[in-house]
Chain A
């Protein structure tokens, strides 16, 4: 029995890795097929994405920059807010408020992204449009705001866990040396929780970069290189989702979307790697 369970768990562990590898090969097989038609340089650094042109253009730079600007915007908005919120819930709020807030924040995570997209379209879009006097409210900023809203529950929830799991004796030790509550928070509690905080930020970014539905609805879907955050953009994920239905299996366009998926995969893989490295450096 013992033997059997051990082997079963081992098998599960290997299966997870196997699936990742299989997904990678699946993506790579169809994605790399694109390069029979297009050079890697034209794909990565081409400034025009127009699969319907003659000949079709598959430059992902506008899409990549679209994803980058939306993700960066969402990160810049959500990390400070999420961190402040996590510190407030974990350290400052009285006990009764803490439980209510935690439950509330976790409930936020349960809102489907399509609903956020919908709310963003009908309410956030017009606000952005009027505030900045733009021709359209569907911009990178609108997408970034909505994504920040989606990343915050993840960030708060994981960060708050990290902050609350800092041993109480650290806090007492610091206070007993005459530190104020705030000094204790930023000099002891945050450094002690830093690995969890990095993980929270990375998972937040992971959620943002892979998000499709809301950005598709909110960013205006213009595959041009964005000059400001107030311009409409199109992200890599939204491109795949929008165009997959209209491609012919085995066509250049089809392969191009897989190649795009491959790029996304590599990016998220890299983010995880960085997060992991950060965690281990801290533990030393």
Chain B
């Protein structure tokens, strides 16, 4: 069974239809990249998977999104549990204006763990996971906002890891980073793949080709093509995909 499956997913902002009948099946413990020109709906699609679009007024969603076989737009969905399970990394690092420790401990705390020793363990383990522990272990009480952007983005990933999600959504996670920092985050993604199902939205086609196992190409709200990354990049079925990949528009 696929980890994530959408059936006839459409999304409307008022009268504008931003997603048109998206059907996709995403396998566990793989990196799936979503590419496409600006405004094609890839970020919007990503945000339907943890219901972040619910924050926007005047939005309407039809169809189904199944995660582990359960429709997250059903009546019985607990948003807290959903978002704990489906975490998100944002375009710009959004570490909170709190200390490094409090940033990583944020998730465990809101989900109810109060034990100091337990929190310390979680923080250490999560920071180790993103290879920040050695750099930050003596600076846990410093403000997270003093870190470099790359370190902040790693911290955001550590913060996510601390709540033990199953799916990680990444919305252009490297767009604020320089090439060196980008390659470090990409290495991290390859490492994270062992435990998590990752979806990444990216403008950078080389990045999609480098890191992902599957690639979806979106255009004007439709998922035009979806398949193995190598096939999509070397032998696309759709003419539009080929045109986009070869840089004829976008």
Contact = CB atoms under 8 A, between A and B. Distances in A.
Contact of A187 (B57, B88, B90, B110): B110
Contacts of B109: 187
Interface string A170-184: 101111111110010
Nearest to B54: A175
Contacts of B81: 178
Nearest to A282: B97
Nearest to A171: B55
A172 B96 contact: no
A188 B107 CA distance: 12
Interface string A187-198: 110011000000
B97 A192 contact: yes
Contact of A170 (B87, B96, B160): B96
Contact of A188 (B83, B90, B92, B96): B96
Helix, strand, loop or mixed for chain A's interface? helix
B106 interface: yes
Contacts of B106: 174, 177, 179, 187-188
Contact of A175 (B55, B92, B95, B96): B55
B55 to A, nearest CB: 7
Nearest to B81: A178
Nearest to B57: A95
A172 B55 contact: yes
A180 B143 CA distance: 24
Contacts of A169: 90, 92, 94
Contacts of B143: 284
Contacts of B98: 188, 191
B50 interface: yes
B96 A192 contact: yes
Interface string B60-93: 0000000000000000000111111001101010
A284 B99 CA distance: 11
A175 B159 CA distance: 13
Contacts of A176: 50, 52, 83, 87-88, 90
A170 B94 contact: yes
Interface residues of B, number: 29
B242 to A, nearest CB: 35
B156 interface: yes
Interface string A133-175: 0000000000000000000000000000000000101101111
Contacts of B55: 172, 175
B163 interface: yes
Contact of A178 (B57, B80, B90, B97): B80
A173 B110 contact: no
Given A174-B106, A175-B55, A167 B87 contact: no
B210 interface: no
Interface in B153-175: 156, 159-160, 163
B94 A172 contact: yes
Given A169-B90, A173-B90, A178 B110 contact: yes
Nearest to B78: A178
B139 interface: no
B94 A177 contact: no
A264 to B, nearest CB: 36
Contacts of B163: 177-178
B56 to A, nearest CB: 11
Interface of B: 50, 52, 55, 57, 79-84, 87-88, 90, 92, 94-98, 106-107, 109-111, 143, 156, 159-160, 163
Interface of A: 95, 167, 169-170, 172-180, 183, 187-188, 191-192, 284
25 contacts: A169-B90, A169-B92, A169-B94, A170-B97, A172-B55, A172-B90, A172-B94, A173-B90, A173-B96, A176-B52, A176-B87, A176-B88, A177-B106, A177-B110, A178-B80, A178-B81, A178-B82, A178-B83, A178-B84, A178-B163, A179-B80, A180-B110, A187-B106, A187-B110, A191-B97
